[in-house]
Amino acid sequence: MKQSFRLQGLDCANCAARLERALNKLDGVAHASVNFLAQRLSLEAEDARWEGVLRDAKALVKKLEPDVTVA
Partner 1 sequence: MTRKQRKELLRIALGLALFAAGWCVPGAWLGGWAARAVFAAAYALAGWDVLWASCRNILRGEVFDENFLMAVASLGAMALGDFAEGAAVMLFYQVGEWFQAYAVGRTRGSIAALMDIRPDFATVLRAGQPLRLDPEAVRVGETLLVRPGERVPLDGTILKGESTLDTAALTGESLPRPVRPGDQAPSGCINLSGLLEIRVDRHYGDSTVARILRLVEEAAERKARTEAFITRFARVYTPFVCGAALLLALLPPLLLGGAWGDWVYRALTFLVISCPCALVISVPLSFFGGIGAASRRGVLLKGSNALETLAHVRAVVFDKTGTLTQGAFAVTQTLPAPGFGRDALLDLAAHAESASTHPLAKAVAAAAPGPVDPAAVTDLREHAGRGVSATVKGRAVLAGNAALLHDNAIPAPTLGDLPGTAILLAVDGAYAGAILLQDRPKPDAKAAIDALRRAGVRQTVMLTGDNAPAARAVAQTLGLDAWHAGLLPADKVAHVERLLAETRAADPKARLAFVGDGINDAPVLARADLGVAMGALGSDAAIEAADAVIMDDRPAKLADAIAIARGTLAIAWQNIVFAIGVKAAILLLGALGLANLWMAVFADVGVAFLAILNAIRALALPRR
Residue 49 dihedral angles phi and psi, to the nearest 5°: -105, 5
Do 70 and 56 form a contact (C-beta atoms < 8 A)? no
Shortest Cβ 68–partner 1 spacing (Å): 13
**Residue 69 within binding range of partner 1, rule CB under 8 A:** no
- Among the listed residues 8, 11, 46, 48, the single contact to partner 1 using CB under 8 A: 11
State the binding string over 21-50 for partner 1 (x if CB under 8 A, else -): x-----------x-xxxxxx-x--------
Helix (H) or strand (E) holding 2: strand 2-8
Contacts for 1 with CB less than 8 Å, ≥ 6 apart? 44, 45, 46, 47, 50
Positions that interact with partner 1 (CB under 8 A): 4, 11-14, 17-18, 21, 33, 35-40, 42, 63-64, 66
